[in-house]
Amino acid sequence: MTTEVYLVYLAAVAVFFATPPDTSQLLIIANSMKHGLRRSLWVIAGDLSANVLQMTAAAFGLAAVIATSATAFSVIKWLGVAYLVWIGLRMMMSKGGSGRGQTATGRPARLFRLGFVTSMTNPFAVVFFAALFPQFIAVDAPILPQLLILGATYLVVDGATLLLWGWAGDRVAARLNASLATINRICGGLMIGAAALLGLKDITPQR
C-alpha cells in the first residue's frame, strides 16, 4: 500500500464519518448527556471492541455468510433494535436520581456492554469492512500488515468521532440546566432514534 493509497483511504473514512449521527453516535450522545463524557468512554471502548471482532470476521470471510443469509442478517439486526428500544424506554421511564453520572446504570461494565452489544448487533458492519478494505490492499504485498494499518486507522478515526459527539452531548446537557428526569427522556428518545436507524439498515452499503 503506497502513501497515496493510504491517504485516499484516510480521506474516505473521514468522509464516511462526516455525516449526520448514526446509531453508535446517537448512543454516545445519549450516554454522555446522561452520565457525562468520562463515564461514556466505556461506551466508546465497547463499540470499538466490537469493531475489532467485526473486522476479524470480515477478514475470515464471514461477511459472505451474513450477506447471503437474509434470515441471519434480519435476526441479528432486529435483536439490536429491540435492545436499543428497551434501553431507551427504561431511560424515558426513569424518574432521575441523585445527579448525572451517579446512577446505577452508569456502571463501567454496563456501559461497555451497551456499546459492545449495540455495535455487534449491526451485521452491516461486517459486510462494510469486507467491502471497504479490499479496495485499498495491494495484492503484491503482505496482506496482514495492510489489514492492521487499515483497521487501526478506522478505529482511531471512529474513536475520535465518537469522542467529539460525546463531548458535544456532555456540553449540551450541562448547558440545558434541566432535571435529570428531563435528561432521561431526551436520552431515551435518542436511543429509540438509534434503534430506528439500525432498523433501516440493509445489506446494501449505505450510511
DSSP characters for 109-164? HHHHHHHHHHHHT-THHHHHHHHHGGGG--TTS-HHHHHHHHHHHHHHHHHHHHHH
Q: Rounded to 5 degrees, what angle do the CA atoms 158, 117, 94 make? A: 105
Domain-embedded: residue 142: yes
Does some domain include residue 21?
no
SS3 content of the chain, % helix, strand, coil (to 5): 80, 0, 20
Closest CA to 161 of 57, 6, 27, 8: 27
Give the model's pLDDT for residue 189.
73
Q: Which range of residues forms the domain containing residue 118?
A: 27-200
What integer pLDDT is reported at residue 34 of this predicted model?
A: 81
Positive or negative torsion for Cα 196, 200, 205, 206:
negative
| Per-residue pLDDT at 11 | 87
91 within a domain of the structure (yes/no): yes
Q: What is the pLDDT along the chain (207 residues), one digit of tens a residue?
A: 788 888 888 888 888 887 766 778 888 888 888 888 888 899 999 999 999 988 888 777 655 555 555 666 566 667 667 767 777 777 667 665 545 555 545 688 889 988 898 888 777 777 778 777 877 877 777 878 888 899 999 999 999 999 998 998 888 887 776 555 666 677 677 667 767 766 666 644 433
Q: Is 206 helix (H, G, I), strand (E, B) or coil?
A: coil
Domain-located, residue 157 = yes
Q: What pLDDT does residue 205 have?
A: 40
Q: Is residue 62 part of a domain?
A: yes
What is the tally of structural domains in the chain? Answer: 1
What's the predicted TM-score (pTM) here?
A: 0.72
Alpha-carbon distance values, 170 to 16, 104, 144, 189 (Å):
23, 18, 38, 16
* In a domain? residue 65: yes
